[in-house]
Amino acid sequence: MIKNIQILFLSIIILLGCDSNSDKSTNQIKSTGKKAETKGPENGTLLIIGGRASDIFYTKFMDLIGGSEAPIVVIPTAVSSDTLEEEFLDEYKKSFIDKGFIDVTILHTRNTEESNTEDFIAPIKKAAGIWFSGGRQWRHADSYLNTKAHDAFKDVLKRGGVIAGSSAGATIQGSYLARGDTKKNTIMMGDHEEGLSFLSNVAIDQHLFARNRQFDMYEILDSRPELLGIGLDENTGVVVKGDKFRVIGESYVAIYDGTRWSAERDTIYQLPEGSREFYLLKKGNEYNLKKRKVITFDDREFINLSEKQLKKYIGIYQLKDNSLRLKILNENDSLKVFQVWDEGKYSILPESDTRFFINNSKLSFEFEIDDDGAINKFFVPSLNEIWKKIPDSN
């Protein structure tokens, strides 16, 4: 398992130019002409999904908000007006309850006067998490941008909560509203250009490879070169904490930041102006928004844990639904993984009390700490493996 560390296959895509066919409004956001700083939320977490979210994202959302009983608010406003009847809203609520959420509030309006009232935002003030629906992202903007509801969404993050969304619910989280035209979703720079800005100086696209959209971002970046472009394929997303994000899901995230990253060569190349190249990140890869660069092993900052802290990791772990076992040992105040099947031994370094990396590799071990402070399992994201601690028969 450990010898078979998966290396990201780099895709470099070139030589296709895109001319914008957008019908632009007179109040467009103007380009600064310079690279702008991209930042994530100081507190809280963003879950940004490229469409067709499977259960793994709802499970992740539940974990991030603190469990099934945490109150959530679901915003279906991006869905077509013809669809948003009471029966639909009831079914939409039920879909979250069927996924295990207990305290669910559906919140919807097409009227900014209503979204500016205390009665409307009361559920948001109690929420641990917000979920924005798919549909047309400009409908989210029309109803909530620069209202009391918008301020309440930001307050969810300030108190450590979670804002999530898929498809239109992903794009609305950026500062620039890609595909925000009311006429059709193929216009990249349309009559709505401002998102809710949970991420600053970012344009987010979705359904990327499923709809062959991977070059469309340049229609925005040609006019707004200071922006960071992020493209998410379906059933793929990023978890943003602070100024960093991590990729989860089954496909790829495209990064348009003026560089090209080669995982094989462990090198980042600066691209010439006007380049049509981008690179891909897959599950487990991480990105620094503020520095606008992929996070490599050399970028990580490791911490020291005491002998008492290290003790809780020690034990025998078995791969779920498999006979493979490994041991985690403490040698000279450092944890090592001993592969029982081939007697290979590897040092693992702590980036936090739950996350360790195999030395000089991208392979991470994500330990789960229970309410009693004990560790009973770990997850290897890049291999989608769960290892559970078992009793030592000796």
| Structure confidence by residue, pLDDT tens digits, 95-154 | 999 999 999 999 999 999 999 999 999 999 999 999 999 999 999 999 999 999 999 999
Structure tokens at 100: 């295990």
In angstroms, the first-to-last Cα distance of the chain is 25
Residues 199 and 84 in one domain: yes
Indicate the pLDDT class of residue 15, thresholds 50, 70 and 90. Answer: very low
* pLDDT at 1 exceeding the cut of 60: no
Residues 125 and 257 in one domain: yes
The last residue of a domain, from among 299, 317, 350 = 299
The last residue of a domain, from among 299, 324, 341 = 299
Structure tokens at 242: 């602070």
Residue owning tokens 């259960």 = 55
Residues 207 and 322 in one domain: no
Structure tokens at 69: 């009983």
The last residue of a domain, from among 265, 299, 333 = 299
Residues 94 and 232 in one domain: yes
Q: Is residue 14 part of a domain?
A: no
Q: Is residue 16 part of a domain?
A: no
Residues 234 and 325 in one domain: no
Q: Is residue 262 part of a domain?
A: yes
Structure tokens at 263: 């995982």
Measured between alpha carbons, how far is 260 from 255 in angstroms, rounded to an integer? 9
Q: What's 53's domain CATH number?
A: 3.40.50.880
- Classified as helix, coil or strand, 272 is coil
Do 214 and 278 form a contact (C-beta atoms < 8 A)?
yes
Q: How, if at all, do strands 286-288 and 293-294 pair?
A: antiparallel
Neighbours of 18 (CB within 10 A): 15
Residues 128 and 268 in one domain: yes
Q: Is residue 27 part of a domain?
A: no
Indicate the pLDDT class of residue 9, thresholds 50, 70 and 90. Answer: very low
Residues 72 and 166 in one domain: yes
pLDDT of 232? 98
Q: Which residue has the higher pLDDT, 202 or 323?
A: 202
93: exposed, middle or buried (Cβ count in 10 Å: 0-12, 13-18, 19+)? middle
Looking from the CA of 238 toward its CB, the CA atoms found within 13 Å total 32
**Mean local confidence (pLDDT), 2-14:** 33
Residues 69 and 159 in one domain: yes
Measured between alpha carbons, how far is 13 from 279 in angstroms, rounded to an integer? 8
Q: What's 319's domain CATH number?
A: 2.40.128.50
Do 271 and 260 form a contact (C-beta atoms < 8 A)?
yes
Number of domains in the chain: 2
CA 200 distance to own-chain centroid: 15
Q: Is residue 177 part of a domain?
A: yes
Do 29 and 36 form a contact (C-beta atoms < 8 A)?
no
* pLDDT at 30 exceeding the cut of 60: no
- Domain range spanning residue 223? 45-299
Instruction: Give pairs for 387-394: CB < 8 Å, separation 24+.
Output: 387/317, 387/318, 387/319, 387/320, 387/326, 388/317, 388/318, 388/320, 389/315, 389/316, 389/317, 390/315, 390/316, 390/317, 390/318, 390/325, 391/316, 392/315, 392/316
Rounded to the nearest 10°, the torsion over CA 204, 92, 118, 138 is 30
Residues 107 and 74 in one domain: yes
Residue owning tokens 């936090």 = 352
236: exposed, middle or buried (Cβ count in 10 Å: 0-12, 13-18, 19+)? buried
Do 162 and 45 form a contact (C-beta atoms < 8 A)?
yes
Residues 94 and 189 in one domain: yes
- Classified as helix, coil or strand, 46 is strand
Structure tokens at 155: 């307050």
Q: Is residue 382 part of a domain?
A: yes
Structure tokens at 215: 């070059």
Do 137 and 177 form a contact (C-beta atoms < 8 A)?
yes
pLDDT tens string 157-190: 999 999 999 999 999 999 999 999 999 999 999 9
Residues 358 and 277 in one domain: no
CA 214 distance to own-chain centroid: 18
The DSSP annotation for 301-338 comes to: ------HHHHHTT-EEEEETTS--EEEEEESSS-EEEE
Q: Is residue 12 part of a domain?
A: no
Measured between alpha carbons, how far is 394 from 307 in angstroms, rounded to an integer? 23
Residues 273 and 313 in one domain: no
Measured between alpha carbons, how far is 109 from 300 in angstroms, rounded to an integer? 44
Tell me the CA distances in angstroms from 17 to 132, 203, 217, 365, one per residue in order: 32, 18, 11, 41
Contacts of 217 (CB under 8 A, 6+ apart): 178, 188, 203, 205, 229, 231, 254, 256, 278
Rounded to the nearest integer, the mean pLDDT of the chain is: 88
Q: Is the pTM of this model over 0.85?
A: no
Percent of the chain topping pLDDT 70? 91
Which of 153, 161, 239, 234 lies closest to 198, judged by CA?
A: 153
Q: Is residue 30 part of a domain?
A: no
